[in-house]
Chains A and B, each alone.
Chain A
Amino acid sequence: MLIIKSLEQLGRYTLFMKRSFGLPDKWSVFGKRTVQEIVKLGVDSIPLVIVISLFIGAVITIQMQLNISSPLIPAYSVGLATRDIVLLEFSNSILCLILAGKVGSNIASEIGTMRVTEQIDALEIMGVNSANFLVLPKIVAFIGFMPVLVIFCIATSFAGGWFVAAFTDLISVSRYIYGLQALFQEWYVWYGLIKSLFFAYIIASVSSFFGYTVKGGALEVGKASTNAVVWSSILILLFDVVLTKILLQ
């Protein structure tokens, strides 16, 4: 029964995506809406990304110093380990899990409210492909802006580590900076960026789907918002494993 329900849900999601990826009714309106979504979903998320990254970057640096301080391990390893953790996992997977909460619930509640207040019906009556009109700009905007958020996350995480080096006696700034640059692999940056694009698509599309298919009232909008965050997070974790296997082997 659970399998059948899951397959039905997958089928509905696929049909929903098919409608969403049609050609826009009017390109100028699509462009305008995409810019609005970039501001709402992307630019407005920058403060959250900066605050989280700064503190997590600092915490990672402290933990690395405390856990790998040994005469056998070079001191710059703290910077190196911090860098790789940030590049490989924190700036994409963990960041997207956090954004699934902020952006995912925002998308699901916005579209869900439009559904229960008949605004989506109003669009349909006018002859507008509501799925395409509402969802495609969000997907394009969030995927397009995600690399910017990832780069902000990487930069501020490193800055967090730098603050630890500069204002504590755990590690010197020069060794931290040297560690950040040591044995650098450019592919790790690309790996993180590629993963984040997949995760951005998951957050935007899954949250839109849960919002779009709401039936009922305010209570159901709240449930849809929760479901959007939960399922986006699960799918991000699942695809994290799959993409890591594909991209790093």
Chain B
Amino acid sequence: MIEVKNITKSFDGKTVLHDVSATFYTGKTNLIIGQSGSGKTVLMKSIVGLLRPEEGEILYDGRDFLKMSPAQVKSLRKEMGMLFQGSALFDSETVLGNVMFPLVMFSSMSHEEQLERAHFCLKRVNLVGAEDKFPSEISGGMQKRVAIARAIALNPKYLFCDEPNSGLDPKTSILIDELLHDITHEYNITTIINTHDMNSVLGIGENIVFINKGFREWVGDKDRIFTTANVALNEFVFATRLFQEVKDYIIANGKKYPDEE
């Protein structure tokens, strides 16, 4: 479980995150949603340590990330995996080389064991047969899957995904979402996904944190989101006619949801 408590982050005197608190649960797909420029990427970068907030606490299963020594941070990082918006695969390495990288750097496995683990991870993301290709030779969806395979190679406890569906077609997006959801449950990982893709929100949003203008505006799940009275969230989630019609249909058919938080 990752707990974020009263995080504040500013750039050049402009506050981007205001006293944000949230809890991200183990074994669940936790989503951070919000409009572009709302502060969700800053929140994720603060959680993983790429940015340092001025105030607040970030607790990884009770361990205060911001008070750790460099050695402790380095140790914690081996428990993290991250999927970047642009995949961030190493251009000079093959698909297999990318997945092998964390194993070569940080595991005590023999070369054969590393190969076996890398092949297992590639098989888990349904990417067999592309081992010798370079990132530039495979599609965007395949690149995301390689990045997921690399992220799970060391059996991370925490998985972070920044806009995993960015630039993908709807069908591939759903595949990636399902893969992330399945991996989260299969390995009991604390997964945090940064997204503004409504298909992801309604598909795998088991715990959703809505950030608006740097404030944590709403917390709930994919079911509660249909009945929320929060104006900003309604405007964001049901901005398109299609989603508004879906919402109206579901409410009109009398489906009951738990009360809003």
Which residues from chain A sit less than 8 Å from chain B, CB to CB? 25-26, 29, 113-114, 117-119, 121-122, 124-128
| Beyond known contacts A121-B82, A124-B49: 17 more, CB 8 A cutoff | A25-B106, A26-B105, A29-B104, A29-B105, A117-B91, A118-B84, A118-B86, A121-B84, A122-B82, A122-B90, A125-B81, A125-B82, A125-B160, A126-B77, A126-B101, A126-B102, A127-B77
Interface check B252, CB cutoff 8 A = no
Q: How far is the CB of A41 from chain B (nearest CB, A)?
A: 14
Which chain A positions have C-beta within 8 A of B106? 25, 126-127
Tell me which residues from 23 to 63 in chain B have a Cβ below 8 Å from any Cβ of chain A: 48-50
Which chain B positions have C-beta within 8 A of A117? 86, 88, 91
Which chain B positions have C-beta within 8 A of A118? 84-86, 88
B86, B89, B91, B105: the one contacting A126 at CB < 8 Å is: B105
For chain B, the bracket of interface size reads: 20 to 34
**Please, which residue of chain B has its CB at the minimum distance from the CB of A128?**
B105
A125-B90 contact given A29-B104, A118-B85, CB 8 Å threshold: no
Contact A125–B105 (Cβ < 8 Å): no
Interface check B247, CB cutoff 8 A = no
Q: Is the contact region of chain A dominated by helix, strand, or loop, or is it mixed?
A: helix
Which chain A positions have C-beta within 8 A of B78? 126-127
**Please, which residue of chain A has its CB at the minimum distance from the CB of B98?**
A122
A127-B74 contact given A26-B104, A29-B105, CB 8 Å threshold: yes
Interface check B17, CB cutoff 8 A = no
CA distance A127 to B78 in the complex (A): 6
CA distance A122 to B135 in the complex (A): 15
Interface check B176, CB cutoff 8 A = no
Between A and B, how many residue pairs show CB distances below 8 Å? 52
| 17 A-B interface contacts by CB (under 8 A) | A29-B105, A113-B91, A114-B91, A118-B84, A118-B85, A121-B50, A121-B88, A122-B84, A122-B88, A125-B48, A125-B49, A125-B50, A125-B160, A126-B78, A126-B101, A127-B78, A127-B106
CA distance A121 to B89 in the complex (A): 11
**Please, which residue of chain A has its CB at the minimum distance from the CB of B80?**
A125
**Please, which residue of chain B has its CB at the minimum distance from the CB of A120?**
B88
The 4 residue pairs across chains A and B that have the minimum distance between CB atoms? A127-B77, A122-B88, A118-B88, A125-B82
Q: Which of B86, B90, B105 counts the most A-chain CB atoms under 10 A from its CB?
A: B105
Q: How far is the CB of A149 from chain B (nearest CB, A)?
A: 23
CA distance A114 to B82 in the complex (A): 16
Q: Which of A113, A118, A126 counts the most B-chain CB atoms under 10 A from its CB?
A: A126
CA distance A125 to B80 in the complex (A): 7
**Please, which residue of chain B has its CB at the minimum distance from the CB of A117?**
B86
CA distance A218 to B90 in the complex (A): 17
CA distance A126 to B159 in the complex (A): 11
Which chain A positions have C-beta within 8 A of B104? 26, 29
CA distance A72 to B84 in the complex (A): 73
Tell me which residues from 85 to 116 in chain B have a Cβ below 8 Å from any Cβ of chain A: 85-86, 88-91, 101-102, 104-106
CA distance A114 to B87 in the complex (A): 12
B50, B90, B160: the one contacting A119 at CB < 8 Å is: B90
Contact B105–A119 (Cβ < 8 Å): no
**Please, which residue of chain B has its CB at the minimum distance from the CB of A36?**
B92
Which chain A positions have C-beta within 8 A of B81? 125
Which chain B positions have C-beta within 8 A of A114? 91
A119-B91 contact given A126-B105, A127-B74, A128-B105, CB 8 Å threshold: yes
CA distance A17 to B91 in the complex (A): 25
**Please, which residue of chain B has its CB at the minimum distance from the CB of A125?**
B82
CA distance A25 to B88 in the complex (A): 21
CA distance A125 to B73 in the complex (A): 10
Q: How far is the CB of A228 from chain B (nearest CB, A)?
A: 19
CA distance A125 to B75 in the complex (A): 11
Which chain B positions have C-beta within 8 A of A127? 73-75, 77-78, 106
CA distance A126 to B50 in the complex (A): 12
Residues 6-31 of B, flagged 1 when their CB comes within 8 A of A and 0 if not, give: 00000000000000000000000000
CA distance A26 to B48 in the complex (A): 23
